[in-house]
Amino acid sequence: MQNEIEIRQYGQTFILSASRCLFWKEQQILIISDAHFSKETHFRKNGIAVPAGIMQQDLLQISLLIKKYNPKKIIFLGDMFHSEINEGLNAFMQWRKTHPQLHLQLIVGNHDILPKAWYTFAAIECIDEYLVIENLIFSHDKLHLIPEEKINFYGHLHPAIRLYGGAKQSLRLPCFLFGINEVILPAFGRFTGAKTIRPDKSTIVYAIGDREIFAVK
């Protein structure tokens, strides 16, 4: 069982983590997509009974990843927060105080609808549409036109793959998808849905099980 896989792809080195995120070694950047912080608080606020503490677990996981990889910054590929202001943001600000110098960048997603002043207060740099670093281009959703020789890293889809076993058994697992000029990241948040993807033969798939990650043959 391995909880991370190091790969060389597109001329760069990446560590894929079973924690549903990616570390870019050359740039020392941790990349996270679709955290959906405070989603459970939003549901409870609207009278839907969901477990408490999910966001705190996700924030703790990020702290462990920071300790492990010591990133220079974190790029969130959209949907960092789920909706409008609620009590869950207080938990995030408490976490932020434990990492005050860490540079956080957010590629704004469709759920990132908090007031701009709040992101400024939380020291989160917001970026509209996309961010380009070397040969990689980061966005929330897939870009319609990918510049030549660039690789589009994005999330939004919450990708999962269905694996089949004997006796008609099947299991659906979140996954990373590496295509010719695109990479789709799994949703980081524990309280998110998933969309089953049927990759073509040119796509490399890394599925995430219970604290392990593995290539799908």
Q: Mean pLDDT, to the nearest integer, of 130-140?
A: 97
Q: Mean pLDDT, to the nearest integer, of 152-163?
A: 96
Confidence check: pLDDT of 1 > 90: no
DSSP 157-194: S-EEEEEE-STT-EEEEEEEEE-SSEEEPPP--SS---
Query: Using only C-alpha atoms, what is the Rg of the chain?
Result: 17
Distance of alpha carbon 54 from alpha carbon 189, whole angstroms: 8
Question: What are the two backbone dihedrals, phi and then psi, of residue 203, each rounded to the nearest 5 degrees?
Answer: -90, 135
Q: Which of 183, 190, 119, 180 is nearest to 157 (CA)?
A: 183
Distance of alpha carbon 93 from alpha carbon 147, whole angstroms: 37
The DSSP call for residue 147 is P
Specify the residue for token string 């990918």: 146
Distance of alpha carbon 23 from alpha carbon 15, whole angstroms: 5
Answer whether 61's CB lies under 8 Å from 69's CB. Answer: no
Distance of alpha carbon 130 from alpha carbon 136, whole angstroms: 10
pLDDT digits (tens, 9 = 90+) for 73-100: 999 999 998 766 667 788 899 999 999 9
Answer whether 58's CB lies under 8 Å from 91's CB. Answer: no
How wide is the angle at C-alpha 191 spanned by C-alphas 186 and 197, nearest 5°?
A: 35
Q: Mean pLDDT, to the nearest integer, of 121-131?
A: 96
- Judged by DSSP in three states, 118 sits in helix
pLDDT digits (tens, 9 = 90+) for 13-69: 999 999 999 999 999 999 999 998 875 654 445 444 445 568 889 999 999 999 999
Distance of alpha carbon 182 from alpha carbon 154, whole angstroms: 8
Confidence check: pLDDT of 143 > 90: yes
Structural domains in the chain, CATH included, are 4-156 (3.60.21)
- Judged by DSSP in three states, 81 sits in strand
